[in-house]
Structure formats: C-alpha cells, structure tokens
Amino acid sequence: MSKNKTQLIDISKKTTTWNKSLEIYNNGEDNQYPERIDRFINNSVTAKTACNVMIQYLLGKGFGENDNFIVNKNLNLKLIDFADDLANSKVKQRGIFIHVNWNANYNISSMQVLPFGSCRIGKKDDKNYNGKILVHKDWLGKIEDKDVNAIDVYNSDKLVIESQVAKAGGWDKYKGQILYLNDDNEYYYPLSRIDVVQLDCDNENLISVYKNRILRKGFFGKTLILTRPLVDSDIEPTILDGAGALVPNPLFQQQESERDAFKGTVKDFLGAENADGVFHMELDFEHENLENAIVFKNIESNIDPSMFEKIEASIRKNILIAINNLPVGLIESSEGVFQNSADSLKEMKLSFWENTYKERDSLETIVNDLLRKFEGYSGDYLQIKPLIEQKPIQQWPQHY
C-alpha cells in the first residue's frame, strides 16, 4: 500500500498481531497505524490545529527558570523542548517512547522522545515479559536487520542496568533503555485520540481537495477571449510545388505564426501566472467593427459557498469532541466569539484547562520521575505553570 493512500478497509481496523519475520508486535494490521494517524491529523486543518492547542494546554507556561535545563547535550535539548515532545506524542498517539541513557554512576545522562511510529514492542520471554523495544525509522517495505536497533525496556534497578551493560560488552557499547508509556492499557499500543474520527479527518481533507480541483480545473476566475478566425479556413496547410510534391503552404504558416504571436501577446499582457485561466475561441463574426473583432468574457464562479457548510460544521464538531471536547472558540476567530464577553472566552480556556488536567498531571509526573534520577539535577519537584490564572472567589468578611 502506498504511503500517500489510505484504503477504507484499513481505517476501521486496529489490531495487534505478532510479526514473526521482524519479531515485533505489529501496530495495526498493516503495522502502519501511527503513520496513518499522523497523516490524518496533518491533512485535517481542524485536527492539526486542535492538537496544537491541546499540546499548549498540557505545557502551560512551562517550568519557569528550569525550562532551559539541558536533558540531552548531544542534541542541545532543553527541558521545555523535551516536554513539548512528550506532549506531542501524548496528544496525537496517546503513547510515548523515551530513550534514556545511563552513566556509570547509575544516573540518567541524557533522554529524548523517539518518534512513536519508529518503535515496536519485541517478543516476550519465558516470564511473559517484553524485554526489548525495536527501533527503525520506517517499518514499511524491506527492512534489514542491521538497520533495526533492539533496546532494553526501561528499568532503573541498578542490578538490572549492570546486567544489561555486561551483556552489551561494556558502557561504551550499551544502548541505554526505552521507557514506554501507554495511556490505553487495554492494548499493546494505544488507540489515538482521533481514532474514532479518522473518517471525519479524511472527509475534511477530501472536501479541501475537491474545492482545490474546482478552482484549478473548473471555470472559476476564467477569462474567455473570442476573436475572428486567425487562420483562414480556405487556406490549405500544404500545397503542391512545381514537381508535384506536397510542401508547407507559406501563407498558412504565416497566419499560424500570427496566431501564436497573438497568444503570446495575451500571455504577456495577463502575466504568465494568469495565462492558464484564459480560453481562446475563434468564431466567425458578422460585423467588421473593431469592438466586435475581439471580445473578452469573464466567467463567474461555479462554486456554491454553502455547499459544504453543514457537513464541515459537523466534521469540525466531531473532531473537537475527540480532542478532549475542545471549545470551538479556542481555535476559530468568528464574529460570534468576538461578540462574546472576555469572561466567556476566559470560561472556555478554564474549561479546557480542567479537561486536560489528567494528561497534564501525567506529563508533569513523567518529567519529575526522570529528573529525580538525572545526573546534575538537584531541584525541587517541578510544576507546570498554568496558562490562565483563576481569580480567588471573593468572600464576605466574617464578623465575630
């Protein structure tokens, strides 16, 4: 199956099967579920915008002065950027793969979020434990064993790390561990937040594609130019020469050249970028007047602006409900929003701030649990600063 196409039969399926040849559990029947989810989100303006808003609500205003703490020197990765990657994966895939490196002091020396679609769960051992995460940049197509990295599952126990380092052949060969976090404990791999609205995301994209095709290939914004025939119909393209052989007719060639020159003049006049929007027709005119020799006609739009209004509104509503019931006013600047009071907009922000509490609290916990084991970090428990402060409720003074 092509990367750029999605068959309807694939959309509704989310199964996990054992891939014997790759020794992984497939993510989706075709092992392409996370990539397909990313494609649906990126092709839907509502889904992409809503996910970005939710990511911002998970990050809040960051961790203050600790935002710039470096968590990966090789990548110059700051804590706030690491948290952003956590939020991105949590919002879109509802799962996170974090690569963690340890040093000889058994402290974390670096960490980074891996693309969710690059990671797959390896086989179970005799104790029904998945001990490896396999990492590859693209699981579609032919996969060479040498391009797949098998990395130990996260375990902060010193004895476990010692054993893993010994098996690897020393610290210089040790690949570290991968911490896998799954917000959907019913499955090996989580169902995306937009799983239930995949068709809505696809429909929004198809409507956009349809409109684009109408604009490109329809009659919208076209100009029709009518002229008298620029080549005399009585003139033959070829004539017989003195030896009786057919040769090009010089008069026909001259008129053809004049026709090409006319089209070139029109193109230069309108500009090359507008030339594709011109139709030239040659018709016989009864009059010889100059104003009737060339006629310009503008063709009006054949797009009905209201054609998809109800469908698009329904699609947008479904997607926003799937993204933690995001209020439409937080992604759409409409007249209705501006007519609302500032208090109304604030209520929408507070409402969504509360709707994302669970995910934000989880992200905050992940960051702090890892920082406690991080080399060189000795700060307090970090809390995400809220995007919007809620004023304390005014109370009447008590009298005694």
Residue 294 and residue 226 in contact, taking contact as beta carbons nearer than 8 Å: yes
Q: Rounded to an integer, what distance in angstroms lies between the CA atom of residue 71 and that of residue 69? A: 6
Residues 380-390 have a mean pLDDT of 89
Mean pLDDT of 210-227: 68
The amino acid that residue 160 corresponds to is V
- Please report which confidence band the pLDDT of residue 301 belongs to, taking 50, 70 and 90 as the band edges: low
Q: Cα(121)–Cα(150) distance, rounded to whole angstroms?
A: 10
Look at 21-35, 97-111, 234-248 and tell me which has the smallest mean pLDDT. 234-248
pLDDT surpassing 70 at residue 74 = yes
For residue 136, the Cα-to-chain-centroid distance in whole angstroms is 20
Is the distance from CB of 371 to CB of 379 less than 8 angstroms? yes
Q: pLDDT digits over 81-125, tens only?
A: 999 999 999 999 999 999 999 999 999 999 999 999 999 999 876
9 pLDDT higher than 60: no
Query: What residue type is 306 in one-letter code?
Result: S
- Residue 235: what residue type? I
Q: Which pLDDT does position 232 carry in this prediction?
A: 77
Give me the pLDDT at residue 129, please: 67
Give the tokens for residue 74.
Answer: 């090789």
Burial of 369 (0-12, 13-18, 19+ CB in 10 A): exposed
| Residues 96, 181 contacting (CB under 8 angstroms) | yes
pLDDT at 290: 47
Q: What was the pLDDT predicted at 65?
A: 94
Of the pLDDT bands very low, low, confident and very high (cuts 50, 70, 90), residue 258 is confident
Tell me, what's the pLDDT at 289?
57
Q: Which amino acid is at 131?
A: G
Least confident of 13-27, 33-47, 326-340, 354-368: 326-340
Q: What pLDDT sits at residue 5?
A: 40
Local confidence band at 213 (pLDDT 50, 70, 90 cut-offs):
confident
The model's pTM: 0.75
pLDDT band at 75 (very low <50, low <70, confident <90, very high): very high
The bridge status of strand 177-182 relative to strand 95-102 is: antiparallel
Average pLDDT value for the chain: 84
Model pLDDT, residue 218: 57
What would the mean pLDDT of 295-309 be, rounded to a whole number?
Answer: 66
Q: How confident is the model at residue 2 (pLDDT cuts 50, 70, 90)?
A: very low
Query: What residues contact residue 360 under an 8 Å CB cut-off, 6+ apart?
Result: 57, 58, 60, 384
Q: Where are the domains of the chain?
A: 221-299
Cβ neighbours, 10 Å, residue 88 = 20
Mean pLDDT of 158-185: 95
Q: How confident is the model at residue 7, as a pLDDT?
A: 40
Q: What angle do CA 55, 58, 64 make, to 5 degrees?
A: 115
pLDDT confidence of residue 241: 81
Give the containing element (helix H, strand E) for 254. helix 250-270
Q: How far apart are CA 150 and CA 174, in angstroms?
A: 11
Strand partners, 225: 280, 296
Top pLDDT among 186 and 129 is at: 186
What pLDDT sits at residue 262? 78
Give the C-alpha separation, 27 to 25, whole Å: 6
CA 72, 78, 83, 85 dihedral sign is negative
The Cα–Cα gap between 237 and 252 comes to 6
Q: Are 224 and 299 in contact (CB under 8 A)?
A: yes
Chain centroid to CA 398: 55
